[in-house]
Structure 1
Amino acid sequence: MLPSTKKSSPRKRRRTQEERRSETSGKLLKATVDLLLENGYSRFRIADAAARAKVSRGGQTHHFSTKKELIEAAIERLFESEVGQAEFDAAKTADEDVIDQAARHAQDFLTSKLYTVSLNMLVSAGEEEHLADGVREISANSRVPIEEAWVHRIAQSGISRQEAAAILVLLWSIQRGYVVGRKIEGGRGKKNAGELEFAVGLLTGYLKSKRLGSPALPSSPPSPPGSKLGNGIPVEGAVDHKGQQGRSASTRDQILDTTYQIMRDLGHAGLRSAKVIDQSGVSRGGLLHHYPTKDLLVAAVYERIVDRIEQDSLRRIGATKDADILSAIVEDAQARFFDDSYKVTLDILIASGKDESLAKVRKALEERYSPGAQNQWASRLMESGVEAGKAYQITSFLWNMVKGIAVRNLVQKQGDLSEQVIALGLELAGQAARS
Structure 2
Amino acid sequence: MRKNWKNKVLGLLLLLLPFTFSACQDKHGTETGIAHAMEYTCPMHPQIVQDKPGSCPICGMDLVAKQPTNTPAVAVSTDLNYLLQPANQTVVSSIQTTQPVQKQVEKEITMSGVVTYDTRRQYMIPARFGGRIEKLYVKFNYQPVRNGQRLYDIYSPELVTAQKELLYLLQNDPGNTALISGARQKLRLLGVTEGQIKQLTRTGRESYTFPVFSPYNGYVLDPAVTAAPTVAPSAAASAGGGDGMGGMSGSAASAGGATGSGSAASVPGQGGGFAIREGMYVTTGQALLKVVDASQVWAQFNVASNLVGQLRKGAPVTITFNQLPGKTLQSSVNLVEPVFEANENFARVRVSLPAQGNSALIGQVITGRTSYSTGSALWVPKEAVLDLGTQSVAFLKVDGVFKPVSVQVGQRADGKVEVVQGLTAQDVIAANAQFLVDSESFIRVKETNR
Measured against the shorter chain, the TM-score band is under 0.3
After TM superposition, the score normalised by the length of structure 2 is: 0.17
After TM superposition, the score normalised by the length of structure 1 is: 0.18
More strand by share: 2
More helix by share: 1
Structure with bigger gyration radius: 2
